[in-house]
Structure 1
């Protein structure tokens, strides 16, 4: 049987019997992520990990001098996976800078588009990429004893998903041949169609603008969306219990597996899905409308919610360097000294950041990555927050805050309840995601992704109902005019699929003077910072136990790969290009010359 997991790129025996192993690039993700480890096989433990990214991020440089109204079109190209999340966040930042509030219907349409993006992206990553880590072929290669046990373990929720044993679930996840694997590919098609209905094009929206959307809202539009949404709702009634059975089995089959990928609970969520009835995009009111988002913003430290204020979240962001290939900006201009409420803004805040690339040879003891190191300063410590892959932080923050209650979803203070209505083949279902006793680990990041797919679908039901109220009442305006100020600042906060996303913009003389997008990748994939604190990938991998049954010579690194992929890595959001001053290679004097070559 051909292996479906790449071999480590090199091995080296260290004098102290540690073995160096590296996976570069990591497969089944987008972008150039390398994971370099030292493994103690005698004690079955990863003792050291470094996360690297080998190409440069440069949007903050070539955004300077651009027309602010182009910001969302340009920044959506940061990524071919979550470009719409960037476009949405950029529009939020522009709405603030321009002082414009979109019509209610326009904002419900944006929410419906973003919900479709979560459903699409989480589905294809969970089922067709992460799912392979738990499929029959993979488990047979790395833990044949676990597969043997799975063959004889009845699935507790077989009546809901149709697979009699855990091994049957694993077989259904086999790439290209597995029944569920193929079904999920079909789901990814119609969820992408749902997005296109709302925002014109996936993944770079063609009808999304500051001030609202250009989508023509009709009953037929909403009907086309809802027919697909109800198919997805029915799909989730199968998927959630199926994954619960699979993930619970790993805890049972491998005692101690809850320690794989476990790190201190340091979770950040910037909130998602605006409520247009209260959101005016004014910074002065940001704390209030932020708390009315349908995914509650928050910072969770050691399981406790320390803030739900977007103002606090904004002011606490710090961009550190350390092991990344940049020079500092401590002697360069500060663009924003105080926020609109008069609060001081730190020099290391994105509004004041300068991007000064300084390439160097990779050195794991010094500089080894192009990813900077965002941190959240709580007044005492620079916390290395992670996103839990996105869903874990979103559900944890929303659950603890207890602010969401819209019929289809309720936050209880310790859980999130998701109510799915009757569908064509299945009756109503109530799902409940509970704050995991196991903490922030590999299995729980993956489990939360499944539950958030259902959460996004339930929220979309609410958004569609609200949009239909507007359409039936004749309030079909979807866009509001605005003027670009000569001077201004703006910030946008939302959740990209993989977690926190912010865009910070400074306008001078009607042009962009400074612009910094911070997606989840820099938060998760960063290297050791200037205080020596490892990034979340590094922290989650190093110190984790190894459960793979293969010996050192045949080691695949499946537990390491599961941990890294549980964060849903997407490196395009961490790396891009830099042209410097440019160079003229050839100068053509006329259009005719250009065409004829004369």
Structure 2
């Protein structure tokens, strides 16, 4: 049987431009290529600039993952200067990062990924009373009323009768891989709409502590620029802290009573997808949410796992961890950059050299990150597996709960080993969100308690950052919504000499390296079913399970400085 080449360009419902090519034979994917279709050039822009300004530039890697680059950037510079960070500043940063991730994960499940599994048009056949009864049997969330689902169905009918499905206008409705009954589809559409409100509430918390969002304004190298005074209306006071707590409580309830429950139900009803899409089973996660000034104690775990064997787990324990620092490299053998080198980020350069798409040559703007020479899968699944292997209390609690519920609903025994899969990535993100919903409130309480003890410090005024003569190097990492993010900076005489960002989607979208090893996207597609090559829904399911953010991995620039596009704001 001849192989059929299928090209999906661009992949939609992601951030940025991603092209996926697969060769299908006998209803399964036999070969795959993942190609990032833009060049990221901010590293070049940063050369010669003050390192204290880098965080503001790196936020512009992406319109979604803004706070994550800000925090990784300031941590990189702080690492070079070997700084300690005031406890209040750590807590404020942690709250921002938790709230950003809560927003991001809710959006991914409902608005970017769910439409691969939910047949929106089928929901028109649903009985709202039966949908409400089903929803109430799964959760005690007060929004699951008959009236709510009747209103949702009316909205959907209005979309269809107008001839325009609005946000649901593109989808493989009626595809044979869609398996949910109408009542479940209506439930999912209803929660899709409700999720719009709750992701906004999480983002309000980001803006409250970050000054605005996207592109927060309150980070500085050494701390935060957010004055704390419980009795001053113009500062972070008790009224604002109480408002943040109320918002986070609402988001927590939605995550625990709706998102987590929906993800579990989806996983149970599509349990065959626990056997599909494993791909690379080497995992990398970094610790985050520091609990001390030095970055040696954390509320989220990090480490590595190789070959899917949880007994191989090796922890990453601090912001200065040598195991992480010494083992990250990137390869450009199959990337549109000059050369075919493999280098540590501090020794890299960023010199674009475009060719046509070459199956056996260069075919992507993304570099190929490796850890100890191996491709690594990053993201919520990596952190859940590392946390589970290390005995992290909250991760074990929510993972065991998810596996128990999925097994009960599906009638199949689903174990931790089944998480090496497309559906495993989906449920791991829900587990991580449930954990973060608790930790966001914990760190807000820690901040309030520390303020109550009279500590109002937010910045090391007695020892502000100063740069020595000569060369210093630093690296900063953060476990972002899509996985391990690290920034690497070389500073010479107080100016940036070299800057590199190794981002989560670069790890996952990685092209082949000098050893010919596929990256996680590519490897996960091998063996995927494809019922209809002209409608490759199954390919989208696996790729979307990673939550691609290609704008972080690459950025667009015309090397001849010609205008590419002009947009007029009305």
Contact 1:318-1:374 within 8 A present in 2 as well? yes
Q: Which of 479, 485, 492 is the matching residue for 2:459?
A: 479
Bigger Cα displacement from structure 2, 392-401 vs 72-81:
392-401
Distance 1:353 1:396 in 2: 31
Cα distance in 2 between the residues matched to 1:212 and 1:416? 37
Q: Match for residue 11 of structure 1?
A: none
Give 1:367 deviation, angstroms.
Answer: 1.2
Residue matched to 1:544:
528
- The partner residue of 1:303 within 289, 309, 317 is 309
Offset of residue 410 of structure 1: 6.2
Are the aligned partners of 1:361 and 1:368 in contact in 2 as well (CA < 8 Å)? Answer: yes
Q: Which residue of 2 aligns with 1:505?
A: 489
Contact 1:489/1:505 (8 A) holds in 2: yes
State the distance in 1 between where 2:82 and 2:375 align. Answer: 33
Cα distance per residue 1:165-222 (max 9 Å; x no partner) = 964232233xxxx221110001121111011111111121101111111123321221
The Cα shift of 1:140 comes to 9.1
Match of 1:170 in 2: 185
- 1:574, distance to aligned residue in structure 2 (A): 1.3
Residue 51 of structure 1 aligns to a residue in which SS? strand
Match of 1:318 in 2: 329
SS in 1 for 2:382: helix
**Equivalence for 2:247:** 228
CA deviations over 1:86-109 (Å, ceiling 9, x no partner): 000111111112232221111100
Question: Using the alignment, how far apart are the partners of 1:229 and 1:140 within structure 2?
Answer: 31
Q: 2:21–2:34: 8 Å Cα contact kept in structure 1? A: yes
Deviation at 1:139, TM superposition (A): 7.7
- The DSSP-based 3-state class of the residue aligned with 2:34 is strand
How far is 1:530 from its partner? 1.3
* TM-score where L is the length of structure 2: 0.81
Per-residue CA shift, 1:42-67, capped at 9, x if unaligned? x3211111111222122222211111
| Structure 1: distance between partners of 2:204 and 2:239 | 14
Structure 1: which 5+ residue stretches go unaligned? 1-15, 145-149, 282-288, 331-346, 419-433, 585-598
Could you list the runs of 4 or more consecutive aligned residues of structure 1 that deviate by over 6 angstroms after TM superposition? Answer: 138-141, 153-156, 581-584
> For each residue in 1:81-139, what CA deviation from the matched residue of structure 2 results, as whole angstroms up to 9, or x when unmatched?
01110000111111112232221111100000000000011111111111111212378
2:535 and 2:516 map into 1 onto residues whose CA distance is: 29
Check if 1:180 corresponds to 2:160.
no
| Counterpart in the other structure of 1:9 | none
Match for 1:242 among 251, 262, 282?
Answer: 262
In structure 2, the residue matched to 1:275 is 291
Find the aligned partners of 1:78 and 1:316 in 2 and give their Cα distance.
24
Residue 371 in structure 1 maps to residue 366 in structure 2: yes
Quote the residue 1:569 is aligned against: 548
SS in 1 for 2:290: coil
- Looking at structure 1, the residues matched to 31 and 420 of structure 2 have their Cα atoms a distance apart, in angstroms, of 19
| Paired position in structure 1 for 2:409 | none
Determine whether 1:442 maps to 2:449. Answer: no
Cα distance in structure 2, aligned partners of 1:469 and 1:156 = 37
- 205, 213, 216: which one pairs with 1:205? 216
Structure 1 segment 422-461 matched on structure 2, within 5 A:
436-461=416-441
Aligned-pair CA distance for 1:469:
1.0
Contact 1:194 1:225 in 2 (8 A): yes
- Does 2:93 correspond to 1:104? no
Q: Shift of residue 163 of structure 1?
A: 8.9
Q: Is residue 126 of structure 1 aligned with residue 140 of structure 2?
A: no
Secondary structure in 2 aligned to 1:136? coil
**Corresponding residue for residue 293 of structure 1:** 298
Offset at residue 358 of structure 1 (A)? 1.1
Q: Is the 8 A contact 1:269 1:495 kept in 2?
A: yes
Q: Which moved more, 1:120-129 or 1:299-308?
A: 299-308
Contact 2:333/2:339 (8 A) holds in 1: no
2:35 aligned residue (49, 52, 71): 52
Tell me, yes or no, if the aligned pair for 1:120 and 1:188 is still in contact at 8 Å. Answer: yes
- Report the TM-score when normalising by structure 1: 0.77
How far has the Cα of 1:236 moved from its partner?
Answer: 1.8
Give the structure 2 partner of residue 589 of structure 1: none
CA change 1:79–1:215 in 2 (3 A) is: same
Matched positions, count = 493
Calculate the aligned-residue CA RMSD, in Å. 2.8
Measure, in 2, the Cα distance between the counterparts of 1:104 and 1:111.
11
Partner in structure 2 of residue 84 of structure 1: 67
Give 1:264 deviation, angstroms.
4.0
Work out whether residues 46 and 542 of structure 1, in 8 Å CA contact, stay in contact via their aligned partners in 2: yes
Aligned-partner Cα distance in 2 for 1:417–1:247: 13
Structure 2 unaligned residues grouped into runs of 5+: 147-179, 229-236, 403-413, 564-570
The answer for the alignment partner of 1:424 in structure 2 is none
The answer (yes or no) to whether the contact 1:72–1:86 under 8 Å persists in 2 is: yes
- What corresponds to 1:260 in structure 2? 276
Does the CA contact (< 8 Å) of 1:91 and 1:210 recur in 2? yes
Matched residues in 2 for 1:92 and 1:417: separation? 34
1:521 corresponds to 2:505: yes
- Asked if the contact 2:467/2:493 (under 8 Å) is kept, the reply is no
1:357 to 352, 359, 375: 352
Deviation at 1:436, TM superposition (A): 2.3
Per-residue CA distance 1:534-566 (angstroms, 9 max, x = gap): 1111110122233x4xx55xx411111000000
Contact 1:329 1:354 in 2 (8 A): no
Match of 2:19 among 6, 31, 34: 34
CA contact (8 A) 1:321 1:372 kept: yes
